[in-house]
Each structure stands twice: as C-alpha cells, then as structure tokens.
Structure 1
Amino acid sequence: MKWDLKIINGNVVDHGQVKRADIFVKDGKVGAVTDGKLEEDAVTVLDAAGKYVMPGLIDTHVHSRDPGPTYKEDFAHSTRAAAAGGITSVFEMPNTTPPVNNAENFELQKQNLQQKAYVDFGLWGICLGPLNLDQIGALNEKGVIGFKFFWGYAVHKETYQLMYNYKPGMENVIPPFNDGDVYEMMEEVSKTGKLFAVHAENNDLIQKLTTRVENEGGRTYEDLIAGRPNLAELLTVNSGIEMAKATGVRFHVLHVSSAEAVESVRKAQADGYPVTVETCPHYLFLSKEDYQEIGPKMKVYPPVKYEKDQHAIWEAMVDGTISHVCSDHAPHTEEEKDGDLWSIPAGMCGVESMAPLMLNAVNEDRISISDFVRLMAEEPARLFGIYPQKGSLQVGTDADITIVDMDQEMVIKREELHSKSKVTAFDGFAVKGVPTETIVRGKIIMQDGKITGEQGSGELVKPEAEEGQVQL
C-alpha cells in the first residue's frame, strides 16, 4: 500500500507521553503510529526530526463576525490565521447576523462557513431565553457543539445582536434576561447533554459601578476594572453553579479572569458537580500593569486584571481546574480601538498567536509539552464530545496534526497576522516555539508559515461520537 503522507523522525506527543515515532496517513485518517519502520512508500514525506508532532490544536472560542460586521473579520481570514497558528479546528461563536438561534440559521451558517473554511469548524448555538427556548432541541439535533449564553446582556429586538453598552430605557432593546429565564434555559440545555457556556459578568453590578465611576470622572484602566470587578464575575459564576446543581446542566465558564471565580469552580468540581472553565492567553500573559505600555489594544471583557488573578489562573491551569486554553479571537479595526477607553469595543485577535505564546511557556518550564497538548487539543476534544476523532492520534481518527519546532524563535508582529484586522496586545512579543506545519485530515494546509491549503476545504465538526468510539 502507498500512504498519502508519512511523518518521520518526530517526537510524537499523545496521551501524556512523548516518544520517537513515525505517523502514516491514508484517506485523511491516521493509519499507523510506529517506532519501527514501515517499508511502504508515501506520496508526501515530512521529516520532523527535532520537532514535536501532536494532535491538531483546537480553538473553542472564535468570533469571526461572519455574517455580520465583516469589515473587521470574516471566516476565510480567521481560519487562515488559525492554520498559520497551528490550529486545525475552530468553534465559531453564535452572535452573528443572523445568530445561530434556530435550525434554519444553523444550516445557513453551515453553508456560509463551509465555503470559506481553511480548517474544520464547529458551530455554537445561542441561548436567547424565551425567544428561542423551543429551538434548543432542534439546534441540538442539527449538531451544535454547545450552547452559549451571554449572561446579563441585552438584545436588540430586530437583529438579536448583543447590546454591550445597554442602559435601562433604551428603545428597541430587550433587557437582560432574569434568573428565571436562565433557569429555564439550563433545564432545556440539560436535556441535550451539551455545555451551557456563559460569559460571566453580573450586569446589574456592572451598570451600577460603571455609571458611578464614569460620573466621578474615572478614565483610567484601574477605573475600568473598578466598573467590572472580580465580584461581577464571581456572582454570575456562583449563580450558575447553584442553578447547574439544581438542573444537572453541564455548566461552563468562558474566559475566566479572576482568582475568586477560579476558586469557586475548583470547589464545585471537588464536590462532584459538572462545572468546567476555560481561560485565554491574555489572562495568562498580561495584567493591569501592562496597560501603560500596551494601551487600549488589551481591552477585553472581562477585563485583564491583577497579577494575583494571573497567578491563580496559572495555578488552576496547571492543576487541571481549568480544562483548556482558547483565544476568544474577536477582532476590531485599528480605528475602533484607538479612542476613549470607555467607548472603544472590547476584543482583539488571538487565534494565530495563541499556540506560540503557550509554546513559549513550555520553553520557560511553566508547563510541559504534554500539558500543552492536554490544554490545546485533548481536553477540548473530550469536553465537547469529539474525542478521539479530534484531539488524538489514535489509528482510525482524523489525521489532524500540528508539528512544532521548539527551538524556532520569532517576534509576533501585527502586520504579519493573517486576520483581516490586526489589533493584538501581543505585538512585539518575542517567543520561542512555533508551529511549522498544520495538517487537517491528512492535508498540509500550512508549512513554514505559508498557507498551502484551499479555502472551502474545512468541514463541519459534530459531537456525534461517544468518547472511546471512532467513527470511520
């Protein structure tokens, strides 16, 4: 037999182990992983001597704004950026125009993204309280990767878009949903067995404190944090945990930013409740102290906070409280991010720089290479029900593979990013450890920083296989 691809001489990282092995690929699947020699030829041979070969990396939190304000970003650009950053699958967030709030819009979004994707993708469904409670079951049947709820956010009556700067009394706006609505959403999502993932900030507290700070003339980054303190995240996390206990839903905290929220999740996990949490590179590598140098580019919600929070998040990531790391890729234009701290939007690019930042942490001995694979591939796949088809190198699974050179150095440069908008807080960061090849279902889509894949080659990922089963 002639293989389509073989990767030789690499250090293969999988299942918490590192071993010298060769990987053989046929028809988009892993055909063999062996530390012996197979004599068969291959159409393409990659020599990974001195490099690490691992399951394809997964970014579970991406906002490509497509359809929607695509002048900021679109799915072709975001998935090119993903490929450049060693990512083989992305999960697209549902707050698009229209949102993924029913079965019809799921199909429209699937068709829209399929023709643009460079990597594989999953689709989040959105929870809009009474507006689409009766659509949760249908979205589940269609194959959403999970359900997202923007806790505390108002919604535009016509477009269902989130109102980030909501004030009571605004016209044509549906106010934030109450706790009774949240409870009903959790009940409905619990029937699907999928994640109920929340942006966790208490809107009532934020509105009160932000108004107070603004009225007092606060304009600094410290004032921004004062308006969106750790308490705002903690209150929502605690409410969610208690409701999850009552409903049985799998409760997931998105982009955790505070020591207090991490500790609350840790306690719930110790008590045996199905509560999980993710974090992002900006909470790991930045703190309030960086704002003076970086400026408004690092504004995100929840805000990057204090060094004590950063340290607590690192500890929780290493000890397994935090399940995985994702980018929260949410681009805006340079013009939009250049203004008053209160009025500029929150968010920045992240899908391309995430892996290099985390690999640099491996080189600094903050995590091991096996930890990196656990956080960036294996655990995301397990959490979302797509393991071992994704997130592993088991024979018979998708040949999604990322190859990294731990000795290669580079400087992250905004102008070299593949996203449409280039805003990043990590411009100028020097890193050691770089993805050199990205392989999706056996096809090399990035090699040595150059995109070699084709637009439209990515496929929809559905959480159909139970853990331990492989669908061929």
Structure 2
Amino acid sequence: MDIHFDLVIRKGNVVLTDEVRQIDIGIRDGKIAALGENLMCSEHTPVYDAEYLHVLPGMVDAHVHFNEPALGHWEGFATGSAALAAGGCTTYIDMPLNGVPPTVRVSALVRKLAAAEGQSLVDYALWGGLVPGNVGDLQGLAEAGVIGFKAFMSCPGGEGEDIFAEVDDQTLCTGMQEIARLGLVLALHAESEEIVSKRAAKAQEEGRREALDFVDTRPIEAELEAVKRALRYAEQTGCKLHFVHISSAEGVEAITEAKAKGLDVTVETCPHYLALTSEDLAQLGPVAKCAPPLRTVEDQNRLWAELLAGRLDILASDHSPCPTSMKQGDFFEAWGGISGAQSSMELMLDEGHLRRHVPLTELSRMLSLEPAKRFGLYPRKGVIAVGADADLALVDMNGSYTLQANDLLYLHKHSPYVGRTFGCRVKATFCRGNRVYELGEGVAALAEGAWLRPAVIVGGGGGG
C-alpha cells in the first residue's frame, strides 16, 4: 500500500544519534513521517536522490548576531539566515546585544520580532539579555518567549544610552537567582574585565597595537578566572549556566570538574578556535579578530583533545558580522567578531571528520542535538527521528572546493575562511521539509522561518 508523503529523500547516508545508515526519509506536513529502506510512495511524490550524500540534522546554531533592529546594515535576518541555510543550518538563536535597543526589555523584544517577521529563511529563537538594572525585566522576557539570557563579564564595547553593559558581581548573582527561578539558562561571555582592561591599557600606553599584542591583552587566565567565579555563583544560586565560545582546554577542564560536582552547566566552543590560531590572526589581520582571541597552535591542540574526549557540549558560530570598513586599520579599534556562520558545518566536518576522524554522530551531537536539548527545542529540533521537524543538511563529503568571497551570502562578504579549501560541501538544506537552499540554485524565494519558543518555561510562559 502506498503511503502519502509530501517528499521522500531517497538512499541518503543518514546520520542518526548512534549510527549512519543508508535509508529513506519520508516527509509529511513538515515532519519526518518515516525512516526506512525503500519507502513506498505514490508515483506523484517528489523524490530527492541523496544516494551519494550524507544527510545530517540541520545545525542548531545557538550563537549568532543579526543586528536588527537599527543595525541591519551590518547584517540582518534576511542575509544572515540565507548564509546559514547555505551552510546547512536550519535553526539559530539570535543574541540580544547588537540591535538598537538591545533585547533587555519586552518592548525591545517586540521590535526585534517585528524586524524578523517574514525575513528569515530558517527557524529561529531569541536570547534575552541580563544587564545592570534589568533583573526586574527577566520574568517578562521569559513569559514573552526568550530562549534564555546572555550576559557579559567583560565589556562588550559600544557607546550611547542603548549599550549592552557588562554585569557586575551583584547583578550577576541577583540575575542568576531570578533565572534559576524562571528555569531558563544563563549564557555567559566569561572573561575577567579587570584583567583584560588593565592589560589593554598597558599595551596601548606602550604603543603595542598589533595582532599578537591584542592576544596578549586577553590571556587564558582571564577566561579561567571568570569561568571559576561564575561557577561559584552557579553553585550558590542553582542557576543553569552555558559558557559561550570557550577558547581553552583550561576553561573546558574547569567546567568538566563542575559537572562532576553536579552543577547544571554546558560548554560551547566555536569552529574558529578549532581551525585558526594566533599565527593566522597575525597573517590575516582584523578579519580574524574576536574575543576571546585565537590561541596558539599548542592551545588549539589541547582544545581538540577535549573535543575528542567528548567533553565539549556545543559547537556554535558566534557569527558577529560588520561592514568591511570596520575590519580595517588599527587592530585594537577594529571590530572584534568573525563572520563564519555559513562555514560552520563544513568546517567542522572537514576539520573534525575528514582530517581527525571524529565520528559524524559525535559532530552531529555538538552541532545539532545538544543545542536543541539545552535550549528547549528538542525533540522537535536537533535530530533525525520520526516526529521531528524535517530539518536536514545534505552534504557531499567528497565535494572539495575553495571558498571564494562571492560564495558568501552575508551582507558584507568577508570571512577569515575565504581562500580556504574544504573537503566537503553542503548540497541542499531543508527546513521543515521545505528546500531552503540548493547548491547552484541559491536560496528559496520565500522566507518562511518560524519563531520558536522553548518547550517549557518554569515560572513563565510556554511555547512550541
């Protein structure tokens, strides 16, 4: 008997949670309706031949900066989500800090949602922010549907009334108590402002303003001090913590020790810490500037060892775009953020699987499954399973190519990966069964990405 499907993806090498199998995927009403060999379907059912491709769950990128409202000329939802679709990402979580105003009150969240409406090619959720003076706004943001909260322990920069300021220890502790009550997660940029600011002032006084001088101002000890301080507060408050863009094995080790003590904490790193080093920064210049900065080859090897040992939870891009003009000139004044979201999955499959033989199931866990679980989007997102959204990345694991600037779908076509040769390439991306990207054809004409809220908010609202 024929079974009704809207689409069948035929004979792909499907990356499941525990194995890779060549099977068919039957899709109906945007969901995965069946998995199996030689699925029966009507002769009128569209079929996508994936026999020579690997099919992974779409990436869930928990850390991107699309700068609307007001800074869409840096990167907005339309171009940012297009780049993600081309990179095999089907869900992203947008950070609260670079829009004007930042998403630290419900009124700002409403403005961001209005900017995103009808613009995103793939599904999205939104972070709220924790800053001095807004602890009383956290419950309203939770009830309105934010996925969690983001705070900085070092100064993120910016000028004017609508800056996203770093938290002092009192705000951090009080905020953690409230976020624990709400049942959400606090994501932390963990660098000690005291260490960083003193070293930066000293370097500039001495006229040291080159790439490696910048790296020296943000040492691993600044990351480690902030991580350990935040873990102490988490132990006191019971707040769930997620450390973003950890750049060192020392940071991972401290977080692993906290997990062993029973703390509810997760750790994220980014592809650029696993693919680029401080030597690359000196060669490439401000296009590769970020905070925390790129580390030495030795530090990178130790971070890879942590990944290979299974001690990293999440891989996320920390896509932080800006106009190309802001990536030029004085190194200390240049914008500190990497445009990398389009390359995240390809980079990790290339560096991790093709070069270091990390199992695809393990990479998929960090790229998709764990972020979906951590932020209340699982089992709808993050996994290829019956009942889950049909969010799929089809990858040619033999599709070697060299990235050119014109391949990038960002608003501003700069990236430290331009000129890099990848051993694999995303061939197509499906979000809820809709093909949002096809290599050679580009992205879909209609932006039908949906706003997602966490499945459960304790003390707040609900969502789907």
Identity rate of aligned residues, in percent?
33
- CA 1:304/1:179 → structure 2, altered by over 3 Å: closer, same or farther? same
Aligned to 2:397: 406
Instruction: Find the partner of 1:104 among 98, 104, 107.
Output: 107
Q: Indicate if the aligned counterparts of 1:325 and 1:375 stay in contact, CA closer than 8 A.
A: yes
Q: What pairs up with 1:34-113 in 2 under 5 angstroms?
A: 34-41=36-43, 43-95=45-97, 96-113=99-116
- CA 1:42/1:135 → structure 2, altered by over 3 Å: closer, same or farther? farther
CA distance in 2, matches of 1:54, 1:403: 6
Instruction: Find the partner of 1:125 among 117, 128, 140.
Output: 128
The question of 1:188 aligning with 2:178 is answered yes
Task: Tell me the amino acid that sits aligned with residue 230 of structure 1.
Answer: I
Q: Indicate if the aligned counterparts of 2:127 and 2:147 stay in contact, CA closer than 8 A.
A: yes
Q: Indicate if the aligned counterparts of 2:69 and 2:111 stay in contact, CA closer than 8 A.
A: no
The question of 1:354 aligning with 2:335 is answered no
Aligned to 1:172: none
CA distance in 1, matches of 2:72, 2:208: 33
Aligned to 2:203: 213
Q: What pairs up with 1:283-432 in 2 under 5 angstroms?
A: 283-361=273-351, 362-432=353-423
Task: Tell me the amino acid that sits aligned with residue 228 of structure 1.
Answer: R
Aligned to 1:7: 9
User: Between Structure 1 and Structure 2, which shows a larger proportion of strand residues?
Assistant: 1
CA distance in 2, matches of 1:62, 1:5: 30
Aligned pairs, number: 455
Aligned to 2:434: 443
CA distance in 1, matches of 2:262, 2:333: 41
CA distance in 2, matches of 1:404, 1:440: 15
1:451 shift after superposition: 2.8
Which region of structure 1 is more displaced relative to structure 2, 311-320 or 109-118? 311-320
Task: Tell me the amino acid that sits aligned with residue 180 of structure 1.
Answer: Q
1:463 shift after superposition: 1.2
1:157 shift after superposition: 8.6
- CA 1:66/1:455 → structure 2, altered by over 3 Å: closer, same or farther? farther
Task: Tell me the amino acid that sits aligned with residue 116 of structure 1.
Answer: Q
Question: Tell me, which stretches of 5 or more residues in structure 2 are unaligned?
Answer: 458-462
Q: TM-score, normalised by structure 2?
A: 0.94
Q: Secondary structure at the match of 1:76?
A: helix
Q: Secondary structure at the match of 2:96?
A: coil
CA distance in 1, matches of 2:389, 2:290: 34
Q: Indicate if the aligned counterparts of 1:2 and 1:41 stay in contact, CA closer than 8 A.
A: no
Q: TM-score, normalised by structure 1?
A: 0.92
Q: Indicate if the aligned counterparts of 1:76 and 1:455 stay in contact, CA closer than 8 A.
A: no
CA distance in 2, matches of 1:283, 1:106: 31
Task: Tell me the amino acid that sits aligned with residue 207 of structure 1.
Answer: S
1:348 shift after superposition: 2.1
1:369 shift after superposition: 1.2
Q: Indicate if the aligned counterparts of 2:277 and 2:296 stay in contact, CA closer than 8 A.
A: yes
CA distance in 2, matches of 1:269, 1:177: 24
Q: Indicate if the aligned counterparts of 1:24 and 1:33 stay in contact, CA closer than 8 A.
A: yes
Task: Tell me the amino acid that sits aligned with residue 197 of structure 2.
Answer: Q
Aligned to 1:143: 145
- CA 1:448/1:415 → structure 2, altered by over 3 Å: closer, same or farther? closer
Task: Tell me the amino acid that sits aligned with residue 320 of structure 1.
Answer: G
Q: Secondary structure at the match of 1:459?
A: coil
Q: Secondary structure at the match of 1:301?
A: coil
Which region of structure 1 is more displaced relative to structure 2, 249-258 or 358-367? 358-367
Q: Secondary structure at the match of 2:127?
A: strand
Aligned to 1:169: none
Which region of structure 1 is more displaced relative to structure 2, 81-90 or 133-142? 133-142
Which region of structure 1 is more displaced relative to structure 2, 65-74 or 81-90? 65-74
CA distance in 2, matches of 1:461, 1:93: 14
Question: Tell me, which stretches of 5 or more residues in structure 1 are unaligned?
Answer: 164-175
CA distance in 2, matches of 1:181, 1:197: 14
- CA 1:157/1:331 → structure 2, altered by over 3 Å: closer, same or farther? closer
CA distance in 1, matches of 2:453, 2:44: 30
CA distance in 2, matches of 1:359, 1:410: 14
1:322 shift after superposition: 1.4
Q: Indicate if the aligned counterparts of 1:259 and 1:309 stay in contact, CA closer than 8 A.
A: yes
Instruction: Find the partner of 1:152 among 154, 179, 185.
Output: 154
Task: Tell me the amino acid that sits aligned with residue 278 of structure 1.
Answer: E
The question of 1:223 aligning with 2:213 is answered yes
Runs of 4+ deviating beyond 6 Å:
154-157
Q: What is the CA deviation profile of residues 99-135 of structure 1, one whole-angstrom value per residue up to 9, with x for unaligned ones? A: 2112232232222212210100010000113x21111
CA distance in 2, matches of 1:124, 1:159: 20
Q: Indicate if the aligned counterparts of 1:4 and 1:42 stay in contact, CA closer than 8 A.
A: no
Q: Indicate if the aligned counterparts of 1:29 and 1:441 stay in contact, CA closer than 8 A.
A: yes
CA distance in 2, matches of 1:127, 1:449: 42
CA distance in 2, matches of 1:285, 1:441: 31
Q: Indicate if the aligned counterparts of 1:55 and 1:377 stay in contact, CA closer than 8 A.
A: yes
CA distance in 2, matches of 1:302, 1:438: 31
Q: Indicate if the aligned counterparts of 1:359 and 1:434 stay in contact, CA closer than 8 A.
A: no
Q: Secondary structure at the match of 2:72?
A: coil
1:264 shift after superposition: 1.0
CA distance in 2, matches of 1:433, 1:89: 21
Q: What is the CA deviation profile of residues 60-105 of structure 1, one whole-angstrom value per residue up to 9, with x for unaligned ones? A: 1111111132222111000000011111011111111112112232
Q: Indicate if the aligned counterparts of 1:6 and 1:42 stay in contact, CA closer than 8 A.
A: no
Aligned to 1:279: 269
CA distance in 2, matches of 1:223, 1:449: 42
Q: What is the CA deviation profile of residues 221-242 of structure 1, one whole-angstrom value per residue up to 9, with x for unaligned ones? A: 2211221111111111010001
Q: Indicate if the aligned counterparts of 1:276 and 1:321 stay in contact, CA closer than 8 A.
A: no
- CA 1:366/1:293 → structure 2, altered by over 3 Å: closer, same or farther? farther
Q: Indicate if the aligned counterparts of 2:391 and 2:432 stay in contact, CA closer than 8 A.
A: yes
CA distance in 1, matches of 2:224, 2:31: 43
Task: Tell me the amino acid that sits aligned with residue 90 of structure 1.
Answer: Y
- CA 1:449/1:8 → structure 2, altered by over 3 Å: closer, same or farther? same
Aligned to 1:232: 222
Task: Tell me the amino acid that sits aligned with residue 462 of structure 1.
Answer: R
1:145 shift after superposition: 1.2
- CA 1:267/1:93 → structure 2, altered by over 3 Å: closer, same or farther? same
Q: Indicate if the aligned counterparts of 1:3 and 1:42 stay in contact, CA closer than 8 A.
A: no
Task: Tell me the amino acid that sits aligned with residue 105 of structure 2.
Answer: N
Q: Secondary structure at the match of 2:417?
A: coil
